[in-house]
A and B are shown apart, each in its own frame.
Chain A
Amino acid sequence: MFKQKPVYSVIVPVGRRVDDLVTLLGEYEAALKQSAADFEMIVVLDGWKEELLARLREYGQTREWLRVLQFSRDFGESAALTAGFTEARGDLIVTLPAYWQVAPAEIRKLLQSLDDSADMLIAVRSPRAGSAFERFRRRAFHGLLKWITRHSYHDLGCGVRLFRRKVADEIPLYGDQYRFLPVLAVRRGFTVREVELAQSPLDRFRGRYRLREYVHGVLNVLTVFFLVRFTKKPLRFFGSIGFIAAGIGAAVVFVLVVQRLFFGVALGDRPALLLASLLVVLGVQLFGLGLLGELVIFSHAGETKEYAIRSITEFRQSAGEPAKPVATSAVDPEDRVRENGVADYVRENRAS
């Protein structure tokens, strides 16, 4: 084990798709050792992988920087990453896939590209291999995402990412959100930049995309849509849709009632009445859902801060002395921020 904490914590989540891991880790190791900084590597086996675990044990015998987490069953990549974050001790976190995506030698370029102005770097495989159809599919996905998030991404499928610890600390991951970590980071106010890295010649997804994956993908994007646009204001979303539905329904009912009253067309003979009441019912239901959403948000409003503070500047004066700076400090020390970090920070600052 280390005497001091490493600079980089490299997390490799191992899910269903996995190439020859030991060879790959060897290549990662070579690339990481090119940079002088200390690193540790955490391999998270998502799902019981006895054989792989045995091989990693052997591999790790001479490599004290390697740790392996074995899940009792598969919990998904978000869980694997979260477990990795918890285990990580470095201030910078690198996630690498368990299969060839970018050429491992390119990792050095990724590490070198991080400067003070960015909180997260995400790799874009470039130039990227793939058929015309695959290119179209990728374009459609990222186009949709750009429309939703108003921020342009080019390769969210790439798991090669480098970010500061606070990013992992402040963003809870669950479900399929690991893929959208950069989107969530931007939403939280972090600066995310893309870095073009050469694609590995071995990067090829051998499976086929079936209908199920497509539906899944669309639902994922929908989730992000809600998260980014409406989590804080459910009634604005549900209420608007509900109002339109109920409005159309009410208009139809109005027409029918006018016809009944002045033209003697019996209401009972009008199938349009069914349609209209369906629309009204739908509209009111959506409204009700929106209100419920508001109640949920309200009941948690005391626990979550809507804002993130980058720095607090204040100068204090002790008697007889000129003002001297006590802060202009970034409010991001590793383990303090979180939800109520602001308050904690202030307390410390005052005490000093």
Chain B
Amino acid sequence: MSLSVVVPLYNEEASVQRLHLSIVKALDAGGFDYEMIFVDDGSRDSTLANAQAIAASDPRLKVVEFRKNYGQTPAMAAGIDLAGGDIIVTMDGDLQNDPQDIPRFIEKMDEGYDIVVGWRFNRQDRVLTRKIPSKIANWLIGKVTGVPIKDNGCSLKAYRASVIKRVPLYNEMHRFIPAMTTITGARIAEIKVRHHARRFGESKYGLSRTWKVLLDLLSVRTITGFAQRPLTWFGWLSLPFFLLAVLAVFAALVPMLHADGTFSVTLAGTGVLLGALGIFLILGGAVGELVFSTHKFDRDTRMAPMVAHKVVELPDARLPDRN
């Protein structure tokens, strides 16, 4: 079983050497057949040069240089695209993850899981700005996507290559990879991992992205849950508005039953507006159907929700006897 360790690097010149050493130490001890892929995401310091210097002495290391800074998700996507191993492990380049944990990930994979995610149970970060928001975010992500993982933000994860290579990664989606993979029918496990306090460089995350994460979460929900039948999804969305519309029109008409009743233009107008919204949404769903029906699905490279990821082969004895 071969292993690819993918590490996105952004302005980590002080960590690269240690990172490489710790990975090598951890994996050599376990006798793994592995490669490392460091993806330099347009760093402005000497991260790239440092990494390339290490590559000169270690044939197992591949260094990918991005043309500019694209962000963590594209960096991971590039590493995953280039990885040749059967199992792909991703981790952060800031030494907060510990490669010593990787062998335990592999053990878990051997038990039959397709994805193993790390859980930083004693997280070494600021409580107010990092830990509490992430607790809330994880709870919410679990609720919305239906994949109750305690720590979506932990980069230390292991994937079966055949699963992760089918999941399209874009647009800061790395947070939602476990959720995205459920559509492929992947089996997910979570294990505790060590987490070290940051020693070098600065943290690249802040509170400001909460709103973005919320919107991304909605996208993921739409994609994972409804991508294959947009009309149905938009239909459900339009339902409450249709109900409100009927109610409003009804409320506008009821007074007319009385002798002196007057017809309320405002209420009727509101009803018509809401009805129009309902129609708009359903038609929007129709456009969604159009997008998918005209798109050529490639069963191998695209995420294939309808395709079971693993075929269970029945032993001959269990096949019905034809004679």
Contacts and interface: CB of A to CB of B under 8 A. Distances in A.
A227 to B, nearest CB: 15
A123 B219 CA distance: 42
Contact of B170 (A285, A291, A297, A314): A297
Contacts of A308: 66-68
A239 B217 CA distance: 12
A342 interface: yes
Interface string A302-316: 100111111111111
B274 A281 contact: yes
Interface residues of A, number: 55
Contact of A295 (B70, B168, B276, B292): B292
Nearest to A285: B280
Given A274-B270, A342-B78, A295 B291 contact: yes
Interface stretch (B57-65, B98-106, B309-317): B57-65
B59 A315 contact: yes
B264 interface: yes
Interface centre among B227, B251, B270, B281 (most CB of A within 10 A): B270
A233 B171 contact: yes
Interface residues of B, number: 66
A267 B267 contact: yes
A314 B55 contact: yes
A306 B77 contact: yes
A47 interface: no
Interface string B216-234: 1011001100010010001
B59 A189 contact: no
B287 A292 contact: yes
Nearest to B75: A307
Given A295-B291, A342-B81, A309 B67 contact: yes
Contacts of B64: 309, 311-313
Contact of A291 (B75, B81, B222, B280): B222
Given A285-B280, A294-B222, A317-B59, A299 B78 contact: no
B78 A288 contact: no
A132 B301 CA distance: 56
A295 B222 contact: yes
A190 interface: yes
Contact of B302 (A239, A297, A302): A302
Interface string A19-46: 0000000000000000000000000000
A302 B303 contact: yes
A352 to B, nearest CB: 15
B295 interface: yes
Contacts of A285: 277, 280-281
Contacts of B66: 189, 307-310
B215 interface: yes
A273 interface: yes
Contacts of B78: 305, 307, 309, 342
A271 B270 CA distance: 10
A290 B287 CA distance: 13
Contacts of B55: 313-315
Contact of B215 (A235, A302, A313, A316): A235
B241 interface: yes
A337 to B, nearest CB: 11
Given A273-B266, A309-B67, A300 B171 contact: no
Given A268-B251, A288-B280, A295-B292, A274 B266 contact: yes
Contacts of B291: 292, 295-296, 299
A346 B82 contact: yes
B212 A236 contact: yes
Given A310-B65, A323-B57, A323-B58, 4 more contacts: A235-B215, A274-B270, A294-B222, A309-B65
Name the 9 nearest CB pairs between A and B, nearest first: A189-B67, A268-B264, A301-B168, A189-B68, A307-B74, A313-B63, A317-B59, A294-B219, A314-B62
